[in-house]
A and B are shown apart, each in its own frame.
Chain A
Amino acid sequence: MVIMRRVAAGLLVMLLSMMARAELVVEVTQGVEAPTAIAVVPFGNETGSALSEDVAAIVQQDLQRSGFFQPMARENMLGFPVQQSELYYRDWRIAKMDYVVIGRAVSVGANDISVRFELYDVLREQSLLSEQVTITRDNLRDGAHFIADRLFERLTGLQGAFSTRIVYVTAEQLAPGKQRFRLQLADWDGARARTILESSEPIMSPVWSMDGSKLAYVSFETGKPAIYVQYLATGRRERIQSFPGLNGAPAWSPDGSQLALVLSRDGNPEIYILDLQSRQLQRVTRHYGIDTEPSWAPDGQSLIFTSDRGGQPQIYRLELANRKLERLTFEGNYNSSGRLTQDGRFLAMVHRSGGGGNGFDVAVQDLKTGRLDVLTRSGMVESPSIAPNGSVVIYATQEGTRGVLAAVSLDGRVQFRMPAVSGDVREPAWSPYLR
């Protein structure tokens, strides 16, 4: 009887509990804002000869510099598995890794090698990616950047920008009164730099067309500033019609048919749009203040530019269809060189906050919320340029008396210097995605 009653009571409780069953919901609103822990294990080399590049090291550096990842230092690795059968999740878990990348290179023919790379989720103990890429022996960096792109895309959902390029200008003082200016093209990490233009006169404001096939820049090679277009594939150059006074700060429209530029032919610097086909010039700003540094919004509907019409340089947006002008920046007493991310949400700029003694730094403003974050503390930055996936901003800064290139992830977590190059480095420009 008692037992039955107990059983009945138990059943009742169970019934009630069934009825009262409501899923427990836990809300997690805080976390550790830390890069993802990943181990890029040195790749196995089964090609029979030493490789000119450490592919895994390049992959690791790429991932780290994106700011999204915190790779494990090699010296901390307990082992170097090169295939799945050698991979023990537990070891990597203990090492607090979330992901592990392993790979191995094998020879394919005389000059090609094939690199197999595999991505594993340590916590879930599953394979996320297993691919291979075939490259020529002297293009191992391309292969490495490709692998980094694949991994990045798999893990972040964003297209990797590690196979993109940058251009920048270097200036060298060869002798008193004799300078050498070079327009350089390099991997995004500064490696494999090569000169695509050399001049004894200043080269300025290089900018990529949206298809990545050509550059526009200002060259003083004729003694006067003039805008040139240079095709990367062939090296062919084209001088765009030049106008009296200042010709500067070109910017390609997203469709590549127009060029925004700054001309002072009407007195003070104003922004114009030049149709490259028809050579039609159209003035879009009209103010006695300086209007300069135009840049297209990714949708091509508006231009952002720097103007001191408000008494100090600030960034404005001009709607092209209706010429509606909107001031974007209000924080700080100096904001210039604005660049929008491809999603149009973030504005990177050179920023100087109010109050004396503060220098110029890279700042990012969230156009959705208006929030502005200063990413650097260098004090002398210029020419920020954003990676096409919006992850990193590259900029020029001063190191001692020399200009150098540096980059900072858009969230400010990772900051790094580009490899040292001779001379004064300035005006970097990040390419769009390249095929």
Chain B
Amino acid sequence: MEIRSYIVPFVLALGVHAAVLALLSTHWMGHDEPQRKVPRHIEAQMIDLTALARREAEQAHIAEERAREAEQAQQAERKRQERVAAEQRRQELAKQQAEAETKRKARQEAEKKRQKEQAAQRAAEQKRQAELEAKRKAEAVERKRKAEEQARRQEAEVKRKAEAAAKAAKERERKQAQAEAELKQALAREQKAREAAARQASQAVIGDIQSYIQAMLQNGWRIPSTARNGMEAVVTIHLLPNGEVDQAYIHTSSGNAAFDNSAIQAVYRVQRFPRVADIDPILFERRLRKLSVKFRPEGLRW
């Protein structure tokens, strides 16, 4: 019960921790946010060579028109001018070429720089990513650890609980077993007592029935004239539960036919021992279904 009462606070604490962790983590993320959102771009000057050519052609066209107007007059001029123009053009071209070169260089530079920056950025990004990754990993590890811990804890808890339950169960079992054992003992004691009582009772009953059977047989026994003191015949009697004689036969002969006969006859003369029918069936089975009768005359004349 006490264990269970910790669960709710524990969960609450866990929640608070998680909330704080969440808040902090967004804060940490915020520093990286602008870098990622606004990347630094390099302003490159694009130079259109075709446009330049087109303008030169237009200027040449204009010059031609002027030349045509003043062609003859200004042939020389023109020629010079052409040369100048060509020079100029060459210079211009060279300039343009140089400019283009520089521009290209610059562009290359810029490109390089950009690439460099890009690389740096990539590296940074990578680094960040790595860091992120690491962080994530760490977080994951942490989470995992936490989860594991949690799991462990839970497991431990479960285990503990299970153990407790097992223990309780064991205890219960033990108690039950003990109770059962006690009950069994009590039962055994009772049984023993009952048996002892039953034994005593059955002994009494047996004693009773023994003298009853003896009396019946003594009434039924016609001692023959050939009987002598010291003669002894043992007759085995099989009784039926209703007390009737099932069969009787000589188990041990007296050596005297008439004596043996008289013993058997005594049993068959009685034919039925009515009180045997009242005997408890188990007792009957045990002691009375088959019994021995010793015919041993006492106090005969001889």
Contacts and interface: CB of A to CB of B under 8 A. Distances in A.
**Do A and B actually bind?**
yes
Interface of A: 5, 9, 12-14, 16-17, 20-37, 66-68, 98, 121, 123-124, 155-158, 346, 366, 368-369, 371, 373, 391, 409-411, 413
Interface of B: 187, 191, 195, 199, 206, 210, 213-214, 217-226, 256-258, 261-266, 268-269, 271, 282, 285-288, 290-302
B291 A33 contact: no
A156 B195 CA distance: 48
A155 B262 CA distance: 9
Most A CB contacts (10 A, CB to CB) among B206, B299, B301 go to B301
B222 A411 contact: no
A29 B264 contact: no
B292 A26 contact: yes
A73 B296 CA distance: 31
Contact of B301 (A36, A37, A371): A371
Mostly, the B contact residues are helix
Given A21-B286, A24-B210, 19 more contacts: A13-B195, A23-B291, A23-B292, A25-B293, A26-B217, A27-B293, A28-B263, A28-B293, A28-B294, A29-B218, A32-B223, A67-B225, A123-B268, A123-B271, A156-B225, A371-B301, A409-B225, A411-B301, A413-B225
A159 B199 CA distance: 50
B183 to A, nearest CB: 10
B169 to A, nearest CB: 20
A177 B292 CA distance: 71
Contact of A36 (B222, B286, B296, B297): B222
A157 B220 CA distance: 21
Contacts of B217: 26, 28
A35 B299 CA distance: 17
Nearest to B288: A24
A31 B222 contact: yes
Given A371-B302, A373-B301, A391-B225, A124 B268 contact: yes
A26 B296 contact: no
Contacts of A124: 264-265, 268
Contacts of A24: 206, 210, 287-288, 291-292
A156 B258 contact: yes
Contacts of A32: 219, 221-223
B133 to A, nearest CB: 66
B189 to A, nearest CB: 13
A158 B226 CA distance: 9
Most B CB contacts (10 A, CB to CB) among A14, A30, A371 go to A30
Contact of B195 (A16, A27, A30, A36): A16
Contact of A33 (B258, B266, B293, B300): B300
18 contacts: A17-B285, A24-B292, A25-B293, A25-B294, A26-B292, A27-B294, A27-B296, A28-B214, A28-B294, A29-B218, A31-B218, A31-B220, A34-B223, A36-B224, A36-B262, A68-B225, A124-B268, A156-B226
B225 A35 contact: yes
Contacts of A411: 225, 301
A123 to B, nearest CB: 3
Contact of B222 (A14, A16, A34, A410): A34
A366 B228 CA distance: 11
Contacts of A98: 222, 265, 269
Contacts of A155: 257-258, 261
A158 B282 CA distance: 44
A68 B224 CA distance: 7
Contacts of A371: 301-302
A31 B215 CA distance: 9
A230 B299 CA distance: 45
A410 B282 CA distance: 49
B293 A26 contact: yes
A26 B191 contact: no
Given A157-B256, A371-B302, A28 B282 contact: no
A413 B299 CA distance: 16
B298 A29 contact: yes
A28 to B, nearest CB: 5
Given A28-B217, A158-B226, A23 B298 contact: no
Nearest to A68: B225
Contact of B291 (A25, A36, A121): A25
Contacts of A346: 302
A368 B302 CA distance: 9
Nearest to B236: A23
Given A31-B222, A34-B222, A67-B225, A26 B214 contact: yes
Contacts of A68: 224-226, 258
Contacts of B285: 17
Contacts of B220: 31
A31 B187 CA distance: 48
A13 B225 CA distance: 47
B301 to A, nearest CB: 6
A30 B261 CA distance: 16
A30 to B, nearest CB: 5
Given A23-B290, A123-B265, A155-B258, A29 B210 contact: no
Given A26-B210, A26-B217, A31-B222, A157 B257 contact: yes
A29 B296 contact: yes
A13 B265 contact: no
Contacts of A123: 265, 268-269, 271
Contacts of B206: 24
- Which A-B residue pairs are the 3 nearest by beta carbons? A157-B257, A31-B221, A123-B268
